[in-house]
Chains A and B, each alone.
Chain A
């Protein structure tokens, strides 16, 4: 199973999302072709109701703890309740462009 599929499966199981999109954005970054290092996750779930953004992100960080500690270098999260998602006309923001940071680190400690 690819890392992308693994992320999808874990989030589906834990959050029963109304909408889930996991995108591999690694090709936009300074990493070898075919890498699975940079991901963008858009998730709409009733689990986020009455939770502050930091609590929503911590929830996802906990679900993906293993992946974050070993494989994922960067994870962009867009978390919405069903109401918020409809108000946004069902679109998420785009991720910022890379600034080459992976180059400045040894691959060992990048996350």
Chain B
């Protein structure tokens, strides 16, 4: 399967998926760590893909998503945003609503 097909499948099959640097247990970037912290605070189960371990995805996803950086959070197949947007939506309660 080519990289784009893999990405589409991952996003379609997982209602909450985070593309990040490192793993939830060992994030390798402050923004990814923040994203994990927020999802954990929401008490939600989520899948993750470590883009440092998957260089093809790291190269392909930004242009497909029209989003240049990581982390990237997808909920029900839609890109929500990165760490800043997650923080803001968590503070306003909007993220918790989306994850219900």
Contact = CB atoms under 8 A, between A and B. Distances in A.
Interface of A: 53-54, 57-58, 61, 65, 68-69, 74-78, 93, 95-101, 104-105, 109, 111
A67 to B, nearest CB: 10
Interface size class, chain B: 20 to 34
B77 interface: no
Contacts of A65: 68
Interface of B: 21-22, 27-34, 52, 55, 58, 66-69, 79-85, 87-89
A54 B69 contact: no
Interface of A is mostly: mixed
Most B Cβ at <10 Å: residue of A54, A97, A111: A54
A96 B86 CA distance: 13
